[in-house]
Structure 1
Amino acid sequence: MLEIKLGTKLALCALSAFIIAAVVFFIVHKAGTLWIDHKFSDPAFVEQQQDLEIQNLQEYITNSQASALDYHVVSNWVKERQLTTLFLYYGDRLIYDSTITYHAGNLASGRLTSPLPWQKTYPLQFSDVEVTAVVSTLARHRFVDQLNIIGLTVFFLTFLLIMLYYVRRKVVYIHQLAQEIKNIESGNLNFPITIKGKDELASLAQDVDKMRHALLKQIIRFQKVRKDRDQFAVHMSHDLRTPVTSLIGYLDIVNQKRCPSKEIQEQYLHKAEEKALQLKNLSENMFKHFLTSMDESKAEDIFCDSAAINLLIDDGLILLESHLFQCLASKYEGEAAFFAIRRTSLQRILDNIFSNLLKYADPAFAIEISCHRGGQGLAISFSNPIRTEKTGAVASAGIGLKSAGEIARQNGGSLHIHKQDGVFQCTLFIPEIP
């Protein structure tokens, strides 16, 4: 963007105002000159101007109650009129001449002379006598002087109005910027800064608007980070409780000596050890990623194959059966395949789903679990009637299933939950690696 400095812009505006004012002055002066030429080309108009001069003088003398020998009164009037000459005659004697400041001592001592034949004479009445007056006025020059005054007035008014208009626009824009900056200062960052022109003010407004965008992005980023941090903390706390619950369940079964055989007892102890290791990994992951995000897709872990998925489902089945739930499971039995989800992520998803089943599934009915391969992935379905009697448990906010859905989405899968007529259905889809 080509920027014009404010000083240069002001100089250009002053030059433009001067040119426009000069053009207006020329037009006014030209029109006035044509009007004066037209008027003074008419002898009647010129004679009318002389008549007006005599009438003005007569009114002046009448108001002053001057006599024919009060020359100072007549001289004052001539000085005020400037471009007017006056000759006064009493009979055939000149008693006053304004061109040479001559005046007679008395009416009888004037110069013996008469008006020239082509000069028009006017009767002039003083308080004592009547004299003859010859007036000569340069009315044309008076009109030209007045025209020059009018033209110069129009010139300066035009110049000032243009400059004031430009300065007022800049002042209004500065006030607007000040108000918009106050909005930013008060924390209102949603209203843009107005950018007008290509000078320093426009550049300043653009820089302020960029600062507003940067602050807005920073606030949005901060809010997102805080939201992700809080969400991550909530999800991780829930995911930490799930293996702890399973670990306590396995150890409780072993301690209460409810295992039918030593092999099953060793199997429970092995599962308890796995849950303890899972708890350790989750806690390390929480401290590692607490201030960033809960993105599991970048974790250093291997992708799950069909055998690993079956083992994770078996862990969940053992947990459900240890709590006296009946399970009808149909695990994956097709060809070996790899799926685009890491073992840690899938374990967290299944732990949340099985934890939800432990809390809300009706133990009087069997829990159905099935795996179906199709649609370029694997679908694991869970179905069970929902427990209706009060258990004294705190109402769930669905954090576990929300966390499971978020983890599935981050790994390219999906988790669909449906509740109808007291039946809970949940379908986990995992994309397959070609």
Structure 2
Amino acid sequence: MDNGKKKIHSLYFELIRLLLVSATVSLLFFFILNRAGENLLTFYFYESDYVQKASDHSIKNLQEYVTENHVSSNDSEKLTKWVNEQKIVAISVYKEELLTYDSLYPDEEVENAAIEGGYYEWESYYTVEFSDGTADVFLYGFFSYQFYSYALIAEILLAVALFIMTAVLGIRKPVKYIGKLKEECEILGNGDLEYQISVIGKDELADLASGMDHMRRALKESIEKEEELSRANRRMITEMSHDLRTPLTSLLLYTDILAKKEIHDMEQIREYIRKIDRKAHQIKVMSDHIFEYALVTEDMEVRTGEPESLDSIFYDPLSEMAGYLEEKGYRVDVEWKDEDGKICVDPEYINRILDNLVSNIVKYADPEEPVRIRTVCRDSCLGICFSNRILRETDERKESTKIGLHNIRKMMKKMRGVSEVCQEDGMFFLTILFPRTEE
């Protein structure tokens, strides 16, 4: 059905329809014009004396010819010659009411006795002086024939002109559309991919325009994806650098403590070594999964662990976080409540989230005020709220890129959780919430 409709609306059938319509209009115009022309000419010749004057003029020429050439009334050869020169005249010569010459049968020999008949007194005859005496000449001239011929030629030319004009006007629309498509292609060629190609009609040109517009959209999407990929690559490098900086800083801090402080407690030394080993292992995991780690793409699923309580999940990471901040001169206050319920998390993401928090606290938190950590229970979610006072001294503060917060938000989203950020009265609050999980 669709193919049939396409054929009906194709340029081929449209052109055939246009030619048929143009031919029909032109023929109708020709018949009307021809009928009107014939009526006008007939009326003119009927009302005017043009034929009579033309006949008188022809008889005058015949008389001059006869006199100059000494033509007799039955001289078929010379009379035929004159008739042929006139082209639109026929004559019959009667002498004493006997036919001596008929231009319609010039080759028939007329006997001396002449041919009798064909002379009617009610007809109009002209008297002509021949070399052998006076004779009556009946002249019939086709004087109006040439005007009918000229009128017919003019009518045909006008009808052809109307046919051409109608066809040109019909073709003008698709030709104009082709010109419009050419202009729109130039616009696209200049790089404006937002410009929409005009799709008009249902023929092949409309299909071509639709294909061009589809190609425009595909090219636009391809360029946008390429730009997004480029931005993602730049973001990958930035976020990777940001996420790696915190564990590297912690590792350097622990090695610096071991190098500069005289620690005699072997248990404490082993604790620092364990922390160094944990940070080094974390950096190794990050480097092994560099692309997944940096991009945290929304289409990549996270494998969370078994459901566990907040205490079992965050005890070690928060203890390490608190120890690191205390080494940096911050005081950490923890308000911990044993909340009912369990959550599912990715341990690697939890470590990275806390690393980003530590990095932001060291950069932007006021060391004179405590860093507070407390548990949160909200509806069907469990989580932790981190708060600190923002550093007031502008000369010591660094401009925030919000990369860390961006990373936290993406990682929480992949674990089906949420992160909420709030600043109020110089305080900074970050809350991470996880949905409770059924056993």
The corresponding residue for 1:169 is 173
Q: In 2, distance between residues paired with 1:198 and 1:271?
A: 72
The corresponding residue for 1:195 is 199
Q: TM-score, normalised by structure 1?
A: 0.74
Give the CA deviation at 1:238.
Answer: 0.3
Counterpart of 2:434 in 1: which secondary structure?
strand
Between the two proteins, the alignment pairs up a number of residues equal to 406
The corresponding residue for 1:207 is 211
Q: Deviations over 1:146-191 (max 9, x none)?
A: 5533442243223322332344333333333333333343333222
The corresponding residue for 1:109 is none
Distance 1:19 1:201, change over 3 A: closer
> Aligned-residue CA RMSD in angstroms?
4.6
Q: Deviations over 1:374-424 (max 9, x none)?
A: 221123212222222356564332221222222223332222222233222
Structure 2, unmatched stretches of 5+, are 70-78, 94-100, 107-118, 127-135
Kindly indicate whether residue 212 of structure 2 is the aligned counterpart of residue 229 of structure 1.
no
Kindly indicate whether residue 368 of structure 2 is the aligned counterpart of residue 370 of structure 1.
no
Amino acid at match of 1:2: N
Choose the corresponding residue for 1:33, options 16, 21, 35: 35
The corresponding residue for 2:343 is 338
Matches within 5 A, 1:273-284: 273-284=277-288
The corresponding residue for 2:411 is 407
| Conserved? CA contact 1:229–1:293, under 8 Å | no
Q: In 2, distance between residues paired with 1:150 and 1:179?
A: 41
Q: Deviations over 1:330-372 (max 9, x none)?
A: 1341235123x31111221121112111222112121111111
Give the CA deviation at 1:299.
Answer: 4.2
Kindly indicate whether residue 16 of structure 2 is the aligned counterpart of residue 17 of structure 1.
no
| Conserved? CA contact 1:36–1:140, under 8 Å | no
Q: In 1, distance between residues paired with 2:331 and 2:21?
A: 99
Distance 1:147 1:47, change over 3 A: closer
| Conserved? CA contact 2:422–2:430, under 8 Å | yes
Matches within 5 A, 1:269-418: 269-287=273-291, 294-295=297-298, 298-300=301-303, 302=305, 305=308, 306=310, 307-335=312-340, 337-339=342-344, 341-389=345-393, 392=396, 394-418=398-422
Matches within 5 A, 1:116-195: 118=122, 136=140, 138=142, 144-195=148-199
The corresponding residue for 1:52 is 50
Distance 1:336 1:297, change over 3 A: farther
Task: Name which of structure 1's ranges 7-16 and 410-419 shifts more when overlaid on structure 2.
Answer: 7-16
Kindly indicate whether residue 420 of structure 2 is the aligned counterpart of residue 419 of structure 1.
no
Give the CA deviation at 1:296.
Answer: 9.3
| Conserved? CA contact 2:409–2:419, under 8 Å | yes
| Conserved? CA contact 2:416–2:435, under 8 Å | yes
Q: Deviations over 1:261-292 (max 9, x none)?
A: 554443333222211111111111115666x7
Task: Name which of structure 1's ranges 173-182 and 5-14 shifts more when overlaid on structure 2.
Answer: 5-14
Counterpart of 2:198 in 1: which secondary structure?
coil
Structure 1, unmatched stretches of 5+, are 89-95, 102-114, 123-131
Give the CA deviation at 1:429.
Answer: 2.0
Distance 1:338 1:415, change over 3 A: closer
| Conserved? CA contact 1:2–1:198, under 8 Å | no
Kindly indicate whether residue 215 of structure 2 is the aligned counterpart of residue 216 of structure 1.
no
Matches within 5 A, 1:71-86: 78-79=86-87, 82=88
Amino acid at match of 1:308: I
Give the CA deviation at 1:241.
Answer: 0.3
